[in-house]
Structure 1
Amino acid sequence: MSTDSDIIRRSRDSPSAFGELYDKHASIIYRYAARRAGDFAADDVTSETFLVAWEQLETYDLDRDDARPWLFGIATNLLRRHHRAEAKMLKSAGKAASREALSDDSDRIAAQVDAAAATASIASTLKNMAAIDRETLLLYAWADLTYEGIATAMGVPLGTVRSRLNRARQTLRSQLSLEELDETENDHGRLAAAPRNA
């Protein structure tokens, strides 16, 4: 099977070969873009990603066999344009999960309520997180890139990726721990009994 660098090398001489790169990676770029900015933006981001890749074909480092970090880097830059849509989607997800948890009657099990509350909390934390940390975390979690792949995609050193992921994880842990503490305090400010495990 051809590596991405082989496909790109052939594409420089025969433009029709570029379709192989699209066929190989368009679906993962689309899924990543859809998770970041919604389905309405994913088609545009995917198309634009491969258009930019085509325009920058000569700049691709042929020593890299895997083009995914390069493509995710392009997609991430394009998604910055769609940041407002992403923030709106996270805000809506947080509100929807909160409404579901609040409007729930006895016909939902406790685990579903906990999941809805956790979704709202995570969505809110992601929305309020520094954009650069959120992008790094989502490239790791949703695009399934390695640290090295994220560094390539974002054009930063490996140590910067580690710092950003560490900061993002600390933000998530801190925010989720604070909310857990808030839920376990009683009216007198003392900790109530430990929350029950579902």
Structure 2
Amino acid sequence: MSELDRPDLSGPDAGRLLSALFDCHAPGLHAYLARRLDTATADDLVAETFLAAWTARNRYRPDKAPARAWLYGIATNLLRRHARGEVRGLRAYAREGGKAVDVALPETLAVSRADASTHVRAMAGGIAELRQEERDVLLLIAWAGLQPAEAAEALGITSITCRTRLHRARKALRKYADLLEEHHD
């Protein structure tokens, strides 16, 4: 086990350890966030994740969760906060009949990758339809590469709850994929 798995962030080495955690985990966090948001917002949320980690360093308990899961939990909470703000902005935009409102709207509202297959883009619609709790579990595992136990720790839920949400997400996506296949035939 490396000192970065469960570091003591309350000691005098906290700055060095958090810097090392940044070097180790920022690229993965950014990839996870950039798949759910645009790149610029992902940049901001990675920075906010480590700022929040620094601020909360004395509350981090290495015996409760590995640093990686703790950081992904912070990032997912920031992502949720961002999504709530985005929804509020879109509702304000809709209320004003499409007139400009003093709310920053996202650059893109759909997941798109130039090199992604049509099927993957279509499945993004299915992912968007999942409940937030199920989507968070699925994407922490599928896109961030966390194990179900790590995703559970990141989200502050039990392993059983995590596996249940993952099962529901996969089941919903299978139904969505079946519907897509019917429309393609």
Task: Tell me the TM-score range normalised by the shorter chain.
Answer: 0.7 to 0.9
For these two proteins, the number of residue pairs brought into alignment is 163
Over the aligned positions, Cα root-mean-square deviation in angstroms equals 2.5
1:49-100 Cα distance to aligned partner (Å, 9 max, x none) = 111111111122223683110000000000112324498133xx3xx88xxx
- What is the distance in 1 between the residues matched to 2:128 and 2:62? 37
- Residue segments in structure 2 that go unaligned for 5+ positions in a row: 87-105
Given residue 21 of structure 1, which amino acid in structure 2 is its aligned partner?
L
Q: State whether residues 34 and 42 of structure 2, in contact with CA within 8 Å, keep that contact through their aligned partners in structure 1.
A: yes
**SS at the partner of 2:46?**
helix
- What is the distance in 2 between the residues matched to 1:68 and 1:154? 12
Instruction: State the 1:16 CA deviation.
Output: 3.2
Give the structure with the larger helix fraction.
Answer: 1
Higher relative contact order by CA 8 Å / sep ≥ 6: 1 or 2?
2
Tell me the equivalent position of 2:40: 40
TM-score computed with the length of structure 1 as normaliser: 0.73
Q: Percent identity?
A: 38
Residue 9 in 1 paired to residue 30 in 2? Answer: no
- What is the distance in 2 between the residues matched to 1:161 and 1:10? 27
In the TM superposition, 1:1-198 aligns within 5 A as: 2-4=2-4, 8-9=7-8, 12-17=11-16, 18-63=18-63, 66-83=66-83, 84=86, 85=106, 88-90=109-111, 93=112, 116-184=117-185
76-85 or 34-43: which moved more?
A: 76-85
**SS at the partner of 1:3?**
coil
- What is the distance in 1 between the residues matched to 2:155 and 2:65? 18
